[in-house]
Amino acid sequence: MNTINDAFLGGAGHGVLRLITAGSVDDGKSTLIGRLLYDSKGVFADQLDAISRAKYKRVAGDGIDFALLTDGLEAEREQGITIDVAYRYFSTPLRKFIIADAPGHEQYTRNMVTGASTADAAIVLIDATRAADGQLLPQTRRHSMIARLLGIRHIVVAVNKMDLVQWDRAVFERIREAYADLARRLAIDGFHILPLSALNGDNVVTASPHTPWHEGPPLLALLENLAVADDGRGQPLRLPVQWVLRDGGDRADDFRGYAGRLASGALRVGDAVAVQPSGQRACVARLLRGADDVDEAVAGDSITVVLDRDVDVSRGDTLAHPDALAQTGREFEAELCWLDAQPLNPARRYLLKHGTRLTSAKIREVRARRDVRELQEVAQADGSLSMNDIGRVVLVTREMLAVDRYDALPANGAFILIDEATHQTAAAGMLR
C-alpha cells in the first residue's frame, strides 16, 4: 500500500468502507461517484475548474459533468464510458471511504472483478428508464453474480435516473421486485434499495422531496452506517512467508526471521505455530514490526517472526496455529473468472499464485460454466472458458498448497492463474 493510502487509512476512527460501483454501461456509476465526491466536499476548486472546461463535457450550460471526476483516461472521456477501475478517496465526519468506479461494458468485466475483490460493499446501479418494465439488464445480473461469488458483504441497489420517469413509484416497485427475485436466485442474503438521481443529487446526500413514499435514508447516510469487517482477530491464523531474513551468519547468535503480512488472525509471542504444508512445529520467540519488538500482531500487520528452534521454512510456506490448520493438498475445486483474451486450454499448464506461493498448475476438468441469463450452471462440453466466463473447475498443482475455502477465509482462498508464455493474468480464482 502506498504512502497516501497509509495516511488515509491511519486516521480512520470509525472504520474505512471499501466500495465498488456495479451495473450496466450508462447506468450512471461515474456520475454517482462524482456527485458523492462533490457533495461531501471531496473535490478541489481546480478540479472543478478543469472539468468545467473539458472538451468532452456532456452537460449543458454551467452544469458539472460529474463523471469526469472519475473517468480520467482520454478514451473514457471521449467515448463517455468507463474502461479501467478508478479509485477515489473521500471522508465524512463519521467515516472514510475508498470507492472504486468499475466499468459497465461486458468486455471489461475482468476489470470489475479485480476492483470488487477487496470491497466491503457494492453499489449496483440500475437505470430506471431501461428497467421500467422490471427486466434487468445482463450486466446487472452478471455483476450481482460476481459480487455474490466474491462474498461482498453489503449490496446496495441504487435505482438511478428516477427523475426521467417522473419519480414513478410503480416503476421503482417493479425494479425492487425484479431484483428481489434475482437476489433469491443468487442466494444473496439481503440488500438495500433506494430511488435516486445521481445527476441532480436527489437521495444521494440529502433526502429528496420527490420520494415521500421512500422511508429509508439517502445513500451517504446508509453507507456511513454499514458495518465493516473486524480486524480479523477471531479468524484462524494465516501468515504467508514472503521472505527469510538472515543477519550475522558468521556469529553464534545469528538472526533468522520469517517476514510476511498477516493475512488473518492474531499472533503473540509464545504462541505455538505449525509450518504448512510440511507440518513442522515451533513456538514464537520474538515478533518484530520493523526493527521494534512487539508482543502481538493482528491481520494486516507486516511482521517478522523469530521461532524458538530451527525448522525448514521457505517463501510460500504458511504459518498457522496447530489447532486451526489450513487444508493441504494438490487437487482443488475452484470457481474461475476467466480474464484473458486467450481461452482456457486444458492441455496447457499455467502458473498459480496463491499468497506468496508460485507453482505450476493444470486444469484437469471444467465441470460447468455459469449462465448469466439463466442464473444456473450449464455443462461446458468443450472443456474451455472464454474471456469474462465464470466456471467451476478442478485444478491440480505441482506443489502442495495450504488453503481454505474462499467463503470461509477469503484471504487464504483466493488465487490467480498466469499464462506461462505471455505472463498475462489468465484468471482469478476462488477455492471451493
Nearest-Å Rg of the Cα atoms of the chain is: 24
Report d(CA 205, CA 221) in Å as an integer: 7
- For residue range 292-302, what is the model confidence (pLDDT) as tens digits? 999 999 988 99
pLDDT at 182: 93
Report d(CA 293, CA 113) in Å as an integer: 38
Instruction: Identify the band that residue 266 occupies on the pLDDT scale cut at 50, 70 and 90.
Output: very high
User: What is the residue-averaged pLDDT of the chain?
Assistant: 83
- For residue range 316-346, what is the model confidence (pLDDT) as tens digits? 999 999 999 999 999 999 999 888 889 998 8
Q: Where are the domains of the chain?
A: 4-225, 238-320, 327-431
- For residue range 133-166, what is the model confidence (pLDDT) as tens digits? 999 988 888 889 888 888 898 999 999 999 999 9
Higher pLDDT, 376 or 238: 238
Q: How open is the CA angle 289-118-120, to the nearest 5 degrees? A: 110
Report d(CA 360, CA 351) in Å as an integer: 5
Instruction: Identify the band that residue 275 occupies on the pLDDT scale cut at 50, 70 and 90.
Output: very high
Average pLDDT over residues 18-25: 85
pLDDT at 50: 53
Residue 67, classed as helix, strand or coil, is: helix
| Of the candidates 277, 348, 342, 359, the residue with the CA atom closest to the CA atom of residue 312 | 277
Lowest mean pLDDT among 198-212, 366-380, 398-412: 366-380
pLDDT at 31: 83
Q: CB–CB of 362/330 below 8 Å?
A: no
Average pLDDT over residues 11-28: 76
Check pLDDT > 60 for residue 184. Answer: yes
Check pLDDT > 70 for residue 46. Answer: no
Q: CB–CB of 281/273 below 8 Å?
A: yes
Higher pLDDT, 102 or 416: 416
pLDDT at 34: 79
Report d(CA 64, CA 380) in Å as an integer: 48
Lowest mean pLDDT among 62-71, 255-264, 318-327, 340-349: 62-71
- For residue range 125-140, what is the model confidence (pLDDT) as tens digits? 999 999 999 999 888 8
pLDDT at 70: 55
pLDDT at 49: 53
Q: What is the DSSP string of 159-217?
A: EE-GGGGTT-HHHHHHHHHHHHHHHHHHT----EEEE-BTTTTBTTTB--TT-TT--SP
Give phi and psi for 389, each to the nearest 5.
-70, 150
Higher pLDDT, 204 or 376: 204
Check pLDDT > 50 for residue 361. Answer: yes
CATH of 238-320, one of 3.40.50.970, 2.40.30.10, 3.40.109.10, 1.20.1370.10: 2.40.30.10
pLDDT at 63: 54
Instruction: Choose the most confident range, by mean pLDDT, from 2-11, 159-168, 374-383.
Output: 159-168
Residue 121: beta bridge partners? 19, 154
Check pLDDT > 90 for residue 37. Answer: no
Residue 428, classed as helix, strand or coil, is: strand
Lowest mean pLDDT among 42-51, 52-61, 423-432: 52-61
Complete edge-to-edge strand list for the sheet that includes strand 154-160:
86-91, 96-101, 16-23, 121-127, 154-160, 192-195
Instruction: Identify the band that residue 104 occupies on the pLDDT scale cut at 50, 70 and 90.
Output: low
**Which CATH number is 4-225 given?**
3.40.50.300
Residue 418: beta bridge partners? 351, 425
C-alpha cell at 404: 481454505
Q: CB–CB of 207/194 below 8 Å?
A: no
In CATH terms, is domain 327-431 a member of 2.40.30.10? yes
In the block, residue with C-alpha cell 480479523: 232
Residue type, 53: R
4-225 and 238-320: identical CATH topology = no
Check pLDDT > 70 for residue 250. Answer: no
| Of the candidates 172, 163, 104, the residue with the CA atom closest to the CA atom of residue 133 | 172
The model's pTM is: 0.78
